[in-house]
A and B are shown apart, each in its own frame.
Chain A
Amino acid sequence: MRTKGILLLIILLAGNLSMAQGPDINGYARTYEGVRYNNGDFAIIQQTLNLNIEKRGDKTAFKANPMVYVYNADSLNIGLREIYMDMYFDNFDLRIGKQQVVWGKADGVFITDIVSPLNLSEFLLPDFDEIRTGVIATKLNYYIGNSSLEAIWIPQFTPTIRPNENSIWYMQPAFPAPPTFNWSKSSIKPSLENSELFLKYSAMTSFIDFEIMGGYTWDDNPSMHIKKIVDMSTGSPVLTGLEITPQHHRLTVGGASFSVGIKGIVVRGEGAYYNGKYFQTADPLAQDALVQKNYLNYVAGIDFNIANVKFSTQFIQKYILDHEDLMDENQTHNTATFMARYDLMRETLHLELFSYIGLDDEDALIRPKITYDFDDSFSILLGGNIFIGDRAGQFGQYQDNSMIYTKIKINF
């Protein structure tokens, strides 16, 4: 009842705003159903209402993006993806509130794009505007011609959202002994000392677009501090359990990205240096089964057209510096993406194929989809999320979740 009341309040509020103050309201309603084709179970039954409420003036603006998700028959999830106000000055803009921030030139991978954490409760399947969570932040943009200096202060850390234990996207880690989780250090207390800071300089020129960024942040993914519980009662040590303490640690990140057009082809690159990441290790001498290392993450890609078909491909590599053999992760991890898109019937029928390809584990997520726009506001999408390859791989582990799905959407 409470959630239904909130939903009603949002709708009434939107209506009142519309009549009294004349904000611009648009959005969409969508029904999304997916079926796992190995067993016929529904992978998702989701109804969505997404509203964009905006009021723009010459010097100020306001935006709220409430969204309502109904899962299965009765599970209701209401939230505000964004709610912020803008203030425009001669040479700078200020945005205060909950907001999504997107950086970098890569598509579908997150290298310098680390300001807004991810919602991975449905793995990488949601649309890109739905996979990022909003952060409560103050953002200042100072403009010099076609370049911009952007500074972001985030007073309260928001971690990556992981699938819960009942989700088909939750993968139980394998432990050599029964684990006990200690969640006492899993959150970061909001304070000035614990805030996050990001800085970016970007420019758009006739030759090249580029960004240079830095961040003093928290690792969005907690490190698992593992302590062994050993029973000595028999005289010889017996491992009886593990105490696992998830804990976020500070990360310092510096990176850059670029995009350049060369005779009709767009070449893109993005890379970042991550300082102070904790990695899992089997080294018995390591404290809490963790070792601190620095690593590089980078991507190179091109976009081009052939016969009205748009292609895009990227190569992504993660490279751990000063790697040790006993670390769980390999020194390098290589992934590729491929996208082809063809619009036909006067841009009413859209064919698209997007794939993540794990080059080390020979696994992949293949995402074909076909969308037909019945008119300017109503569309039907049929698609597939096909996981193939080694079950030890990032994508192959979800082989049993391969699905076909449909999304029917009305924009207004």
Chain B
Amino acid sequence: MKTIKLLVSAALIIAGFNANAQLTGEQIIEKTYNLPTGEDQSSTLKMTLTNKQGKQRLRVIKQFTKDFGEVEKKIMFFQSPADIKNTSFMNWSYNSDKNDDQWIYLPALKKIKRISSDSRSDYFMGSDFTYDDLGDRKLNADIHKLLRTETINGKDYYVVESISKDEDYMYSKTITWISKDTFIGIKKEFYDEDGDLLKILSINKTEEVSGFLIITNSEMKNIQKDHTTTISLSDIKINSGISPSKFTERMMTRGM
């Protein structure tokens, strides 16, 4: 699995790492990145978008993920709102530098389309999460630097700054608070191209499922737009033996 474990869909395990003050920013992020997460996972994702007037929009997605070694496959079935019901989306993410393969099935068009994966900075379904934020960003896409350590509520955290190697990237930098004990990220700040704070990701709730610590509620708040997206996970199953056939054309068109 290549996903940065701060992110909402990742399965996180408390692996008993010992705090190590000698670690560099790169090594800390790598440990977070490489936390074991199980072979497969399924869950129902509810995404609530709240604007500054308090008006809410809800998206519901059933998602399945499986690690095949060199490639991680993910398939999402959209259940709500009504106009996108039965739409499905599949992503194959590679350990190598190869671009992701992505397909979308639109029930109105009745066909699967391969889509361009060159849109990492696009916001996912109008939310405050970009595709990168949701976990598809590669480890080596950024330069990571340990800024300091902090103690919050009696717990120690690394504070790591990450700057994209791509000068045109939408964030000038991100700063992540990572637990010294577990290497789990608990907070992340995103700064815009002018260096101003844009968004803050906070972890609201974690639960243990099949021995894995899962982030079941998180919130991304856009400070500049006063817009918030809350993600909650339910019906979580880990290592349930999802068949490889789940990640195929057949399932995209047929649905769950």
Q: Report which A residues bind B (CB closer than 8 A).
A: 26, 28, 56, 86, 88, 93, 100-105, 127-129, 141, 143, 145-146, 148, 202, 204, 206, 209, 259-261, 263-266, 303-305, 308, 310, 346-348, 375-377, 379, 411-412
Q: Is there a chain A Cβ closer than 8 Å to B143's Cβ? A: no
- B82-A376 in contact (CB<8A): yes
- B116-A305 in contact (CB<8A): yes
Distance in angstroms between the alpha carbons of A38 and B254 in the assembled complex:
46
Distance in angstroms between the alpha carbons of A379 and B81 in the assembled complex:
13
What chain B residues lie within 8 Å of A86 (beta carbons)?
254
- In the complex with contacts A93-B254, A143-B248, A261-B117, A377-B125 CB distance below 8 A: no
- A376-B110 in contact (CB<8A): no
Q: Nearest 4 A-B pairs (CB), nearest first?
A: A264-B118, A376-B81, A347-B126, A346-B126
**B56-106: which have CB < 8 Å to A?**
57-58, 71, 80-83, 85, 92, 94, 98-99, 101-103
What chain A residues lie within 8 Å of B110 (beta carbons)?
100-102, 129
A-B residue pairs in contact (CB < 8 Å), sample of 22: A26-B85, A28-B82, A86-B254, A100-B110, A103-B111, A129-B108, A141-B250, A146-B249, A148-B250, A206-B94, A206-B98, A209-B112, A209-B114, A261-B114, A266-B114, A304-B116, A308-B119, A310-B116, A375-B57, A376-B80, A411-B81, A411-B83
Nearest A residue to B247 via CB reads A146
Which one of A88, A100, A266 lies within 8 Å of B115 (CB-CB)?
A266
Nearest B residue to A306 via CB reads B118
B73 to chain A minimum Cβ distance, whole angstroms, is 10
Distance in angstroms between the alpha carbons of A377 and B92 in the assembled complex:
31
Distance in angstroms between the alpha carbons of A265 and B115 in the assembled complex:
8
Which one of A145, A265, A376, A379 lies within 8 Å of B248 (CB-CB)?
A145
- A346-B227 in contact (CB<8A): yes
Distance in angstroms between the alpha carbons of A174 and B110 in the assembled complex:
38
How would you classify the secondary structure of chain B's contact residues: helix, strand, loop or mixed? Answer: mixed
Other A-B contacts than A100-B110, A261-B102, A376-B57, 19 sampled, CB-CB below 8 A, are: A26-B82, A28-B82, A102-B110, A105-B113, A129-B108, A141-B250, A204-B103, A261-B101, A261-B116, A263-B118, A266-B116, A305-B116, A308-B121, A346-B49, A346-B127, A347-B123, A347-B126, A411-B81, A412-B82
- A303-B116 in contact (CB<8A): yes
- A304-B118 in contact (CB<8A): yes
Q: Is there a chain A Cβ closer than 8 Å to B181's Cβ? A: no
- A377-B118 in contact (CB<8A): no
What chain B residues lie within 8 Å of A143 (beta carbons)?
245, 248, 250
Q: Report which B residues bind A (CB closer than 8 A).
A: 49, 57-58, 71, 80-83, 85, 92, 94, 98-99, 101-103, 108-119, 121-123, 125-127, 227, 245, 248-250, 254-255
A98 to chain B minimum Cβ distance, whole angstroms, is 14
- In the complex with contacts A204-B103, A305-B119, A377-B83 CB distance below 8 A: yes
What chain A residues lie within 8 Å of B126 (beta carbons)?
346-348
Distance in angstroms between the alpha carbons of A209 and B227 in the assembled complex:
39
- B82-A411 in contact (CB<8A): yes
Distance in angstroms between the alpha carbons of A226 and B118 in the assembled complex:
54
- B249-A148 in contact (CB<8A): yes
B79 to chain A minimum Cβ distance, whole angstroms, is 10
What chain B residues lie within 8 Å of A145 (beta carbons)?
248
Distance in angstroms between the alpha carbons of A86 and B57 in the assembled complex:
33
- In the complex with contacts A129-B110, A348-B126, A206-B118 CB distance below 8 A: no
Distance in angstroms between the alpha carbons of A100 and B111 in the assembled complex:
11
Distance in angstroms between the alpha carbons of A101 and B117 in the assembled complex:
27
Nearest B residue to A24 via CB reads B85
What chain B residues lie within 8 Å of A104 (beta carbons)?
111
- In the complex with contacts A204-B248, A266-B115, A308-B122, A129-B109 CB distance below 8 A: yes
- In the complex with contacts A26-B85, A377-B83, A261-B99 CB distance below 8 A: yes
Distance in angstroms between the alpha carbons of A376 and B127 in the assembled complex:
13
- B85-A204 in contact (CB<8A): no
Distance in angstroms between the alpha carbons of A375 and B81 in the assembled complex:
10
Distance in angstroms between the alpha carbons of A265 and B116 in the assembled complex:
6
B109 to chain A minimum Cβ distance, whole angstroms, is 6
Nearest A residue to B115 via CB reads A266
What chain B residues lie within 8 Å of A305 (beta carbons)?
116, 118-119
Distance in angstroms between the alpha carbons of A357 and B14 in the assembled complex:
59
A55 to chain B minimum Cβ distance, whole angstroms, is 12
A212 to chain B minimum Cβ distance, whole angstroms, is 15
Which one of B80, B111, B115, B248 lies within 8 Å of A303 (CB-CB)?
B115
- In the complex with contacts A146-B249, A303-B116, A102-B85 CB distance below 8 A: no
Distance in angstroms between the alpha carbons of A377 and B112 in the assembled complex:
24
B195 to chain A minimum Cβ distance, whole angstroms, is 21
- B82-A206 in contact (CB<8A): no
Distance in angstroms between the alpha carbons of A226 and B18 in the assembled complex:
89
What chain B residues lie within 8 Å of A128 (beta carbons)?
108-109
- B121-A88 in contact (CB<8A): no
- B254-A264 in contact (CB<8A): no
Distance in angstroms between the alpha carbons of A26 and B114 in the assembled complex:
26
Which one of A101, A265, A347, A376 lies within 8 Å of B118 (CB-CB)?
A265
B169 to chain A minimum Cβ distance, whole angstroms, is 13
What chain B residues lie within 8 Å of A376 (beta carbons)?
57-58, 80-83
Distance in angstroms between the alpha carbons of A100 and B85 in the assembled complex:
18
What chain A residues lie within 8 Å of B81 (beta carbons)?
376-377, 411
What chain B residues lie within 8 Å of A129 (beta carbons)?
108-110
B96 to chain A minimum Cβ distance, whole angstroms, is 11
Which one of B82, B103, B109, B254 lies within 8 Å of A377 (CB-CB)?
B82
Distance in angstroms between the alpha carbons of A246 and B115 in the assembled complex:
42
